[in-house]
Amino acid sequence: MPLSSTMKKYWDFWSSHFNEGLSQIPGIGNWFRTDWVILIAHRDGHHSVPNLQGGQSILSEEQLRHFPTNKRLCLRLGEGLGQQRDIALPAAARHDPAAMIALSLKQYFPFPEEDTTFAVHGIAPKSAPEKNIFRVSFARRSQMENALREVQNYGINPKAVDALGVDPLEPVSADLASGTKAVNAISASKVLVGALVFLVFIATIINMCSSLYLAPQAAQIEVRTRPEATDQAVQQSQAKATVPSVLDLWKAVTMALPDDAYAQYLLYEKGKLRLAGKATDAAMLVNAIEQQGMFSDTTFAAASVKEDDGKESFDLITNVRKGDHQ
């Protein structure tokens, strides 16, 4: 089976069940009932419904009184109340056959014009397209109104009225009461699909607008902010590059201190190095520290004191020259 046929089969199955389920909802269900219920009115006052064998089943008074009123019902005028006929019209009338027929009622119908009502079903089933033959239901307006009043006495309010043709189960397509096409129910499944298509369309439009307008604006904002962000990143990178590592500082201090001196602690903060420890001659340390290219402006933070072990304590502060530690 072709893919298209398979998809159509599943669509018909799903949509029919979906429409039927939604039609059961009180209130809005009538909008989505796609199937018509046919009630046939006869000239002798009896009413019947079509059966599956192509015939009709007469309803009793009790059955008519309990006839379901929550269905999309068409009152079909039986023989003697309404008729169908095929009418050939000029090609110019193809798009509005009702208007052409209305101009010549006497030519097509045997009733007085003021008491005639008709409605066009559409192109006749066996008509070739170029012949413009239309199937039409017609009746006396007074008899149609009497038939409507009879069923309304039972609480039945038809949504459409047409005339009985060859097939009692013929689809409802014309309405004698309004003289126009019968108003078919809304297909809930088609409404759902239409809503989804609309949402996809709106999403596509929003995406296109975003691409055409928002994306360029975002790019401009990014361009305007990028130099500042780049400069900040460069500054941070340069700052990191000019700060000596602990290993570099310790290596320079070790090279600066003579063999008879040693450091007890070392603290680097905000470009200054504080160095404390013991040495045989603390005064000579300032010059020794200055010998290293990365140190300058070395001073004592505290006075030197000679300890019991014969060495002098020292506490020095020196500036670390940026870039000289490379």
pLDDT digits over 77-110, tens only?
999 999 999 999 888 888 889 999 999 899 999 9
Structure-token match 């300058």, residue found? 296
Q: What is the pLDDT of residue 277?
A: 87
Q: What is the pLDDT of residue 241?
A: 60
- CA 174 to CA 101: how far, in whole Å? 15
Domain boundary assignment for the chain? 35-184, 246-320
Question: In this predicted model, which residue has the larger pLDDT, 216 or 144?
Answer: 144
**Is the CB of residue 271 less than 8 Å from the CB of residue 320?**
yes
Percent share of the chain, pLDDT over 90: 29
Helix (H, G, I), strand (E, B) or coil at 211: helix
Percent share of the chain, pLDDT over 70: 77
Q: In the structure encoding, which two tokens stand for residue 6, read together?
A: 């398979």
Q: Of the candidates 152, 147, 150, 183, which has an alpha carbon nearest to the alpha carbon of residue 163? A: 147
Question: Across residues 57-68, what is the average pLDDT?
Answer: 90
User: What count of Cα atoms within 13 Å lies in the side-chain half-sphere of residue 229?
Assistant: 6
Q: What is the pLDDT of residue 83?
A: 94
Q: Of the candidates 75, 91, 187, which has an alpha carbon nearest to the alpha carbon of residue 134? A: 91
Decide if pLDDT at 202 tops 60. yes
35-184 placed in CATH 3.30.420.380? yes
Question: Across residues 181-191, what is the average pLDDT?
Answer: 68
Most confident of 40-54, 240-254, 271-285: 40-54
Q: Could you say which of 3.90.1530, 2.60.120, 2.60.40, 3.30.1360 is the CATH number of the domain covering 246-320? A: 3.30.1360
Q: What is the pLDDT of residue 131?
A: 74
Q: In the structure encoding, which two tokens stand for residue 212, read together?
A: 């055409």
- CA 320 to CA 269: how far, in whole Å? 10
Q: What is the pLDDT of residue 225?
A: 58
Decide if pLDDT at 186 tops 60. no
- Provide the pLDDT confidence category of residue 326 given band limits of 50, 70 and 90: very low
Asked, colleague to colleague, whether 35-184 and 246-320 share their fold, the answer is no
**Is the CB of residue 153 less than 8 Å from the CB of residue 41?**
no
Instruction: Output the average pLDDT for the chain.
Output: 81
- CA 317 to CA 274: how far, in whole Å? 5
Decide if pLDDT at 253 tops 70. yes
Q: What is the pLDDT of residue 287?
A: 85
Question: Across residues 300-325, what is the average pLDDT?
Answer: 80
Q: What is the pLDDT of residue 323?
A: 59
Alpha helices in 172-297 (DSSP H): 188-209, 215-242, 246-256, 285-290
Q: Mention every residue, 6+ apart, whose C-beta is less than 8 A from residue 130.
A: 91
Q: Of the candidates 150, 136, 142, 185, which has an alpha carbon nearest to the alpha carbon of residue 39? A: 150
Stretch among 7-21, 90-104, 151-165 having the lowest mean pLDDT: 7-21
Question: Across residues 246-271, what is the average pLDDT?
Answer: 82
Decide if pLDDT at 231 tops 70. no
Per the DSSP assignment, residues forming a β-bridge with 163 are: 77
CB atoms within 10 A of CB 138: 27
Decide if pLDDT at 271 tops 90. no
- CA 75 to CA 151: how far, in whole Å? 9
Q: What is the pLDDT of residue 126?
A: 73
Q: What is the pLDDT of residue 235?
A: 58
Report CA 24 to chain centroid distance, whole Å. 27
Q: What is the pLDDT of residue 300?
A: 84
Hey, what's the torsion of the CAs at 74, 58, 115, 103, to 10 degrees? 50
Q: Mention every residue, 6+ apart, whose C-beta is less than 8 A from residue 244.
A: 268, 294, 320, 325
- CA 103 to CA 242: how far, in whole Å? 101
Helix (H, G, I), strand (E, B) or coil at 11: helix
